[in-house]
């Protein structure tokens, strides 16, 4: 099974250019940024789902995502 990526590379370039708009961004840098952000996003999603379940809900709320994204 091929792991389908969610985030577009163009968005990764925009994020990376937030650091310095005048810098160029290589395709491998965009791909690594996408991999890192998707991996981090999945971790946050799992923790947010656990928080919702712990609260007795089946719906993930913004507060769950905020809680899950804070360093533990």
Domain CATH number, residue 64: 1.10.20.10
Query: Residue 9 corresponds to which tokens in the numbers above?
Result: 């590379």
pTM, 2 dp? 0.84
Q: Which domain holds residue 66?
A: 26-72
Q: Which helix (DSSP H) or strand (DSSP E) does residue 67 occupy?
A: helix 62-69
Residue 54 within a domain = yes
Asked, for residue 50, whether it belongs to a domain, the answer is: yes
- Answer yes or no: is 19 within a domain: no
pLDDT band at 71 (very low <50, low <70, confident <90, very high): confident
Total domains in the fold of the chain? 1
Per the domain annotation, does 1 fall within a domain?
no
Q: Report pLDDT for 2.
A: 59
Is 41 within a domain?
Answer: yes
Tens of pLDDT, residue by residue over 16-68, are 999 999 999 999 999 999 999 999 999 999 999 999 999 999 999 999 999 99
């Amino acid at each position: 099974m091929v792991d389908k990526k969610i985030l577009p590379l163009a968005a990764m370039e925009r994020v990376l250019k937030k650091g310095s708009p005048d810098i160029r961004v290589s395709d491998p840098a965009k791909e690594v940024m996408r991999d890192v952000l998707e991996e981090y996003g999945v971790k946050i999603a799992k923790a947010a789902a656990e928080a919702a379940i712990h609260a007795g809900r089946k719906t993930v709320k913004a507060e769950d995502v905020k809680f899950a994204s804070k360093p533990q």
